[in-house]
Chain A
Amino acid sequence: MAKSLMIVDDSATMRKIIMRTVRMSGLEFDRTEEAGNGKEALEKLQASPVDIVLCDINMPEMSGTEMVKEARKIDCCQATKIIMVSTESAEELINSVMADGANGYITKPFTPEKFQEKLAPFMN
């Protein structure tokens, strides 16, 4: 079954790069959404939920770590898989955001192979 995707990053360039890398990884989505911060992402998710969210951490307005916590409190986002995509690579931070409900973690810079590896388990 076709899946839907949302890319959350404060940089429009980075959103395009992530989109391109997802395509290069061979993964296909029937719908893709974008948001520039956690707050905008939550609003869009409530209006129209998606299967997979790729989420930056350092963003103005609402960070990715806060977004994960908030998303897990909302009914529509319970089944959504949230994979963090960040330059942050401290183990402590990764563990804490995973404990808060994230389903995976990709560090920037990344490769299409990395996206394939981390997203494939959620594509069925």
Chain B
Amino acid sequence: MLEQLTLQDTVLDAAREVFETMIFMDIETSSDACPSITGESLLGSITFKGDLEGCLAVCVSQSCADRIAKNMLGMEADESLTIEEACDAIGEVANMVMGSIKSRLQPLYPTLEVSIPSVITGRELKNTLGERAVKTIVCAWLDGQEAAEFSFLYRKSASQKTQ
């Protein structure tokens, strides 16, 4: 059984690995309630199936997505970036965080097949998987100033019998 507590750490460690190695931003969990992401935002998500079935999503404000994309691409803060580029970057962040989670879950769940990431933009975006989903939400601050929410949702796959 996947413990909620360890899963929180797994998601955070995976996110930290990606943000520190490729985005050059540090990441700290928020001790209070989740910092809210208001206004236009981006939600990058990726689904997985196999020993576990569900989805992982990364949600950030549009300005935060811009910063992430510019950091990843080595662009200056005042350079202009298209919304497509920001979306593509957030999709890749979701892809890499999921890849890192997957390798950490490997001993417990060796077969996890991941999809190609997709990104949506809008307001008050939510990662959902129906009522029965087991949810792990990690709220974090990037470089101490921008909020990011990582949500890992799963349900037992059809091939697994529920007791």
Is A74 on the interface with B (CB-CB < 8 A)?
no
Q: Are B99 and A88 in contact (CB under 8 A)?
A: yes
Measured CB to CB, the nearest residue on chain A to B106 is A90
B-contacting residues, A1-33, CB 8 Å = 10-14, 16-17, 20
Is B18 on the interface with A (CB-CB < 8 A)?
yes
Q: Are B95 and A87 in contact (CB under 8 A)?
A: yes
Q: Which of A13, A58, A60 counts the most chain B CB atoms within 10 A? A: A13
B-contacting residues, A63-108, CB 8 Å = 86-90, 92, 107-108
Q: Bound state CA distance, A13 and B104, in angstroms?
A: 25
Which secondary structure characterizes the binding site on chain B? helix
Q: Across the interface, which residues of A come within 8 angstroms of B110, CB to CB?
A: 90, 92
Q: Are A13 and B88 in contact (CB under 8 A)?
A: yes
Q: Across the interface, which residues of A come within 8 angstroms of B21, CB to CB?
A: 109-111
Is B85 on the interface with A (CB-CB < 8 A)?
yes
Nearest chain A CB to B67 CB, angstrom units: 14
Q: Bound state CA distance, A109 and B16, in angstroms?
A: 11
Measured CB to CB, the nearest residue on chain A to B23 is A109
Q: Bound state CA distance, A60 and B91, in angstroms?
A: 14
Q: Bound state CA distance, A40 and B126, in angstroms?
A: 35
Among the listed B73, B89, B96, which residue makes an inter-chain contact with A87, where contact means beta carbons less than 8 Å apart? B96
Q: Are A13 and B102 in contact (CB under 8 A)?
A: no
Is A59 on the interface with B (CB-CB < 8 A)?
yes
Among the listed A17, A60, A90, A109, which residue makes an inter-chain contact with B73, where contact means beta carbons less than 8 Å apart? A17
Q: Are A11 and B22 in contact (CB under 8 A)?
A: no
- Given A11-B88, A13-B85, A87-B98, verify A109-B103 contact (CB < 8 Å): no
Q: Bound state CA distance, A9 and B126, in angstroms?
A: 28
Q: Are A110 and B22 in contact (CB under 8 A)?
A: yes
Q: Are A20 and B69 in contact (CB under 8 A)?
A: no
Q: Which residues of B contact A (CB under 8 A)?
A: 17-18, 21-22, 69, 72-74, 85, 88-89, 91-92, 95-96, 98-100, 102-103, 106, 110, 114-116
4 extra interface residue pairs, beta carbon distance < 8 Å, beyond A90-B102, A109-B18: A20-B73, A58-B115, A90-B106, A107-B99
**A–B pairs, 11, beta carbons within 8 Å:** A10-B116, A13-B89, A14-B88, A17-B92, A20-B73, A86-B99, A87-B102, A88-B99, A108-B99, A109-B100, A111-B21
